[in-house]
A and B are shown apart, each in its own frame.
Chain A
Amino acid sequence: MRSRTLSVLLKKVCLALGFLLVWAAGAAAVEYNLTAKVGSMSLPDGQTVPIWGFALGDGPVTVPGPRLVVPPGEGLTVHLTNLLGVPVSLVIPGQKLPDNNTGPVWTDWPNETTSWSGSRPAGNYTARVRSFVHEVAPGGTGTYTWNNFKEGAFLYQSGTNPAAQVQMGLYGAVVKNFDVDQAYSDSETGFDKEILLVYSSLDPVMNRAIASGQFGPGKTVPNTRDYAAKYFLINGKAWPDPAQERINGCTEILAGEDVLLRFLNAGYQTFVPVFLGPYLTLRAEDGNIYPFPKEQYSLELAAGRSVDAWWSPSSEGSFTLYDGRGHLTNAGAPTPGGLIARLQVGQLPADSQAPVVTGLSASPNPTAGATNMALTGTATDVATGCSNIQAAEYWIGSTDPGAGSGTPMSPADGTFDSAEEGIQATVDVSGLSNGVHTVWVRAMDATGWGSASSLQLQVGPPETVAIYKTRYRRLSKTLKVFARSTAAPGSVTLTAVGFGDLAYRSTKNDYFGKFKPVASKPPTVTVVSTGGGSDTKPVPYP
């Protein structure tokens, strides 16, 4: 799962010599490769929202990002690759700035063509800080090193334009414990099981505008002032996602065990998790241990905060967390949603089901002339028995080569050793004919191969999108947009930025959107396609 600069063998040698142990522990740093890239999030009400997130290596992007574990006594090094179109960076509130920090980074915002690192550029009193620490430019890779890492549970997140980038999904949790079963040096902080609960929120309007380049001065969404969260997430999901029914996933909690619940809030508002029934013993906040623990059934989880709570379930059963501030809906829907999750206490059921594959993504798709396509997904047995994933494979086309005879996919973290694994493959698509191909992926655990999931891969030349008509009616406050795409009929989604998706009309082989009310005639309208094409046209006066 991770590599260390100092090998275990070397450490043992140091121990055996009884020599320089402190130096060795201080100098060791666990290393992770993170990639910032575009992804999408499916919400329980069927909406799909574009996100930016972190992936482990070439694996699937997840929100929150992969959980980083810093072993006792070690530091942390992250190699960050940036596949986004804007610079990103990495900060960990609660830790010092990275030891190799050369930031902050300044720009003559909103003109960001020139930037400066370090202190304010001499004589420039209008430059603004874009990033708290040194950045990674689009397409580049940078390193962030923390030699002395404070124990606790923390959020790692983008330090560049954080008002926009953090809510896009560029956050995750990093944990360092004092020992494998003890959070802090205080012996009261021992635990049998550790559950991470990363709270956050999502405003789909903001995400879509940022993802489509319509965020910034003079654009559809000029800034984050009107950020208005519509979805409220725990570990990246909202109730009633099946994962929330068992938020402890494949961590088995038994009655009488000491359970450490680590609450983190990457959202932009305060949440008040209420534990229905039992009490929690709060022992630490922001990585700092309280002089005395607090016994409460609820806790204040302010934005950016980390709270460590202990709980020893007295019996088996289902225990519910909900938000005391009423973030209990998905975008206002009347059915239960948002911040509800359950902890299930009791033995894991025996595994009788094979794993499933979720979150399949192909990039680029449509291939639009590319030679290689990156295929990523998540193989998970969390909901189907909690056995470790052992293998994953893919094939293209309608002929199943037989279980185990597909092309192997590799685990994003390097080893198949858990019940949920990011999986990845680089697929040469240069030999595929133009048109739609079905890509199948399945995974295997101790019970065998699971059923395959699929995605439609559009192979073909670069897509072009053309808006062929726009019309605005002042009286009815209606905007109509007509566009065409060279992608296969209906294979892509076209979005009029700031207004909404266009619907595909097979009779005319075009995409049409009617938006109402639109308060005033926009000067231009931009249509972007999931196939990569886009077009901008002025809206004529009626």
Chain B
Amino acid sequence: MRKRRWFGMALAAAALWAIVMEPAAWAKILGVQGTSFQLVAKQDRITLGDGDSVLMWGFALGNGRMQYPGPTLIVNQGDTITVNLSNALPATAGNVSILFPGHDVAASGGVAGALTREAPPDGTTTVTYTFTASRPGTYVYHSGTRPDLQVEMGLLGVIVVRPTSPTPNSACPPVPDGHNAGPDPSLCVGTKFGYDHEDTAYDREFLIVMTDMDPRVHRLVEFGRMDEIDTTNFFQTVWFANGRNFPDTIANAQVPWLPTQPYNAIFLMHPGERLLVRLVTLGRDPHPLHFHGNHIRVIARDGRLLSSAPGNGPDLSFERYTVAVNPGQTVDGLYRWTGALMGWDIYGHAPGDDPAPYEFLGDHGANFPVILPSRDDVVFGQLYSGSPFLGGEGSLPPEHAGLNVGGGFFYMWHSHTEKELANNNIFPGGLITFLGVVPWDVPLEAE
């Protein structure tokens, strides 16, 4: 296997929505940790994948800008969590509140609403929500005031509760049967746990918040035609992963040109690593997320392990290649990829070569099954490295964007409701993102 160098920054930064090989970008759940959070409902704009600019209402962290989705709150099991909400939306938006399904919440301040206490749009009144993050898992929060409109407008977010046990450790992923040993232990990011059970171990975790939008509603809000809004007529034409449409989903996180959409949705891993994928849907419809590369093992729903009895771990887990999450629900899954059973050596090894970490030994040295056409006879996709092999670097045509400098394999993760792969009817767009598998000598950020 050839050596790879780490150079991509300059090239990628030049591209509008390039994958930037910058470690901060992609290998973990971005969010805010703590026990006390100041959320302010604000009005701002986001950019759709087709370039449209849409008025939104969303949650901001204190003095920050509103973001879509709202800040991901990362907390520890057992902590008492306080969320202070104030409402800086225009008066026409009315009150705002927050619901925390799955948690037993005490609310104080503000005024009483149908579902919880609400903050009037005066910018100062604070509603305080307090709850104990008693169980680990993935949870949602969203507006409890006119949710049919305010969730559509963007007042939503996610809570991740980390377990108190088992204790994370530095172990590399275990070696599956028939695979080569792992890499030098210093390269492993360490083992973490999604839930309070050993069978929820993972190396990297990702969050996908799936939402939908009917832009007509946002326009009526912008034009002050509030009395024309009828949420029973919803008809969404734009779909989001982590608040962005493809191709923005695979741009870097926190890029300056998407100031209110800080989270991206490109996920990178090394072969053999275990991913904890946290799936959340908020909005109107479930969006069946389809996984390429491998099936995913569903281990939890609504922050509860699929377990036959307490302590048994996710023994009722099951594999799926498409997972639909109902609006308001959460689903967690474990995903792993080693390239096993492809039928050819994905590293392009000769039979006598040393196998790569976690390489499936059954295919070691097996020939690539076809003869590749010459470079000038094919059209290269933007994420093709120029080589069919993992970590390979072939020559690329002069006009090629060269986005895949690590020689990774890219697997599309997308809504299986195929009409959702569009931004207002423009394909490709919408609920598309990618998993990138890169060889172990391409460094990824430690979790």
Residues of chain A at the chain B interface (Cβ within 8 Å): 228-230, 239-240, 270, 272, 274-279, 292, 294-298, 300, 320, 322, 324-329, 331-332, 334-336, 338, 340
Contacts and interface: CB of A to CB of B under 8 A. Distances in A.
Nearest to B228: A332
B141 to A, nearest CB: 12
Nearest to B105: A277
Nearest to A275: B101
A334 B232 contact: no
A334 B114 contact: no
Contacts of B327: 272, 324-326
Q: Is the interface of A mostly helix, strand, loop or mixed?
A: loop
B362 interface: no
A296 B233 CA distance: 29
A279 B302 contact: yes
A279 B152 contact: no
Contact of B328 (A298, A331, A334): A298
B232 A329 contact: yes
B230 interface: yes
Given A277-B103, A297-B101, A322 B115 contact: yes
Contacts of B230: 329, 331-332
B110 to A, nearest CB: 16
Contacts of A298: 101, 302, 326, 328-329
Contacts of B304: 279, 295-296
A326 B115 CA distance: 13
Contact of B147 (A228, A292, A295, A326): A326
Contact of A296 (B116, B148, B284, B302): B302
Contacts of B328: 272, 274, 298, 324-325
Interface in B104-159: 104-105, 113-116, 144, 146-149, 151-152
B329 A324 contact: yes
A234 B308 CA distance: 32
B226 interface: yes
Contacts of B102: 279, 297
A378 B365 CA distance: 81
Contacts of A331: 230, 232
A331 B233 CA distance: 9
Contacts of A296: 301-302, 304, 329
What 9 pairs across the A-B complex have the smallest Cβ distances? A324-B328, A332-B230, A336-B114, A326-B148, A296-B302, A295-B304, A324-B327, A272-B326, A297-B102
B94 interface: yes
A338 B102 CA distance: 22
B240 to A, nearest CB: 16
Contacts of A336: 113-115, 146
A229 B152 CA distance: 19
B101 A276 contact: yes
Given A275-B101, A297-B101, A322-B99, 7 more contacts: A277-B101, A326-B148, A326-B231, A326-B327, A329-B146, A334-B227, A336-B115
A239 B101 contact: no
B55 interface: no
Contacts of B301: 294, 296
A326 B283 contact: yes
Interface string B145-180: 011110110000000000000000000000000000
A328 B147 contact: yes
A430 B332 CA distance: 70
A334 B326 contact: no
A108 B302 CA distance: 50
B229 interface: yes
B284 A325 contact: yes
